[in-house]
Structure 1
Amino acid sequence: MAKKNTKSPDEMSFLDHLEELRWHLIRSVFAVLIIGFVAFLMKRFMFDTIILGPSQMSFPTYRFFCDVATYFGSDSAFCAEKLPFTLQSRQMAAQFSMHIWTSIWAGFILGFPYILYELWKFISPGLHPNEKKHSKGFILIASSLFFIGVLFGYYVVAPLSINFLGTYQVSEMILNEFDIDDFIGNVRTAVLACGIIFELPIIIFFLTKVGLVTPEIMKKYRKIALVIVLIISAVITPPDVTSQIIVAVPVLILYQVSIYISKMVLKREARREQKEKQKGLKKM
């Protein structure tokens, strides 16, 4: 059982901080394993409905793009009856191993708010009272951004990638027969990458707090950021311009929002410093 540390953050040694961090990590891992175990028991729903959903043409994203194409009177691969590929497992233990690891990843994604809660409990004792006050919504905002990114990755990036790569053929003589691990890896990469990318405003918030980022720096390197965003979009999406633009647009919006957040952080810091100076002058 972990001992409750009654020392203030200033009195704690480096080893005390490591011990505190260790217990936060242990609790986070237990939470992931418990949620993962529940996901493990829900095998049919997790695989047939969630993970393998983008492999079916009844998936909402395909229906949406098909309706758009039909509205404009054009043919589209999204209107096909079936995706021209099959999924297979070529190793005896592959499906069991895949089941375990997929459940653990599901535990991480669903348990993300609790992981943030443990992270917040670790760093909050070292924050200024005003910083704690202005950061009350940290867990809610960070979790919301992460889940929005996960949904964006699942409903936009993953199906676009699967549809493009699953229908791409250099010759009709070559059949698309994908290994299930490869398929799940693509879905997982799209979901987690988007979830992390959507945390950009939170990352900028803390980088601004520690003085590593300013709005001026972000504006100055906006063009470089645009290139980086396009590179990231090219990595997590199929190599077609439309998919890359669909991914790049929300990320660029997040970048602009992050500039605004950085400005707000600096304004609050300036007001706090001014109030402290006024208090100091009154005491003199």
Structure 2
Amino acid sequence: MKKKDLPLLDHLKELRVRLLRSFIGVIVVFLPLIFFSNNIYELASSPLQELMPENSSMIATQVASPFLSPLKLTFYLSLMISLPYFFSEMWRFIAPGLYKTEKRFALGLTLSSILLFYLGILFAYFLVFPLVFGFFTSVSPEGCKSHDRYLQLSRFYSHNFLSFCDCLRNSCFNFLTKLDRD
């Protein structure tokens, strides 16, 4: 029996195995990065801290914030690093059901999506975030001290990284769907 001729439950079992492997891949990346979570947070917060006015600082508004914020950023980073492994697991699940021409097209689309995902992260971190942080720190009223919160920064990064990655990836998808393959 061919792999693509398996019953639905067997396909679901294989999908479960692939998703479990992907989750284990995230954990394998996350565990060593835990030891560097404070360094990762410092690197992530450096564009903001460089632009903050004198006598301003990051504050913790919850007891666990100084502990949880670096861990959250480290987890997001481990998700980003393990993304190619996730895509390879999904590819191994999907590929047996595709024709040869579909495999070629889907492989190119997957590789370009991964590349654009990482380019979106770099674009946001090095170009957009310094401009955004510079704008917000420059428009604060006279006499208003800036005290940014730990958890807000990790939330800001997670939401905006995904937004920029989606913008680049979706523009690629839109371009590729408009191509006439005839």
TM-score, normalization by structure 2: 0.86
Deviations 1:93-128 (CA, angstroms, capped at 9, x unpaired) = 122222322221111111111111112112111111
5+ residue gaps in structure 2?
Answer: none
Tell which deviates more after alignment, 132-141 or 93-102. Answer: 132-141
Q: What's the offset of the Cα at 1:144? A: 0.9
Aligned residue in 2 for 1:45? 39
Deviation at 1:263, TM superposition (A): 4.3
Look up the SS of the partner of 2:58 in the other structure: strand
**CA contact 1:157–1:190 (8 Å) conserved in 2:** no
* Structure of greater relative contact order (alpha carbons < 8 Å, 6+ residues apart): 2
Match status 1:182 vs 2:176 = no
Number of residues of Structure 1 aligned to a counterpart in Structure 2: 180
- Does the 8 A contact of 2:26 with 2:79 survive in 1? yes
Please point out which of 114, 136, 145 is paired with 1:165.
136
Deviation, structure 1 residue 202: 5.2
Amino acid at match of 2:36: M
When structure 1 is superposed on structure 2, of 160-169 and 101-110 the one drifting more is 160-169
Question: If you compute each CA radius of gyration, which structure gives the higher value, 1 or 2?
Answer: 1
Instruction: In structure 1, give the amino acid aligned to 2:46.
Output: G
| 3-state SS of 1:132 partner | helix
* RMSD across aligned positions (CA): 2.1
User: Normalized against structure 1, the TM-score is what?
Assistant: 0.58
Per-residue CA distance 1:70-102 (angstroms, 9 max, x = gap)? xxxxxxxxxxxx522421112221222223222
Matched, 1:89 2:82: no
User: 1:52 aligns to what SS in structure 2?
Assistant: helix
Match of 1:101 in 2: 72
Contact 1:87 1:179 in 2 (8 A): yes
Percent identical pairs in the alignment equals: 24
CA–CA separation in structure 1 for the residues paired with 2:178 and 2:38: 47
Letter in 1 for 2:52: L
Unpaired stretches in structure 1, ≥5 consecutive residues: 1-5, 58-81, 205-257, 271-284
1:122 matched to which residue of 2? 93
SS at structure 2 position matched to 1:91: coil
- 1:26 and 1:202 map into 2 onto residues whose CA distance is 29
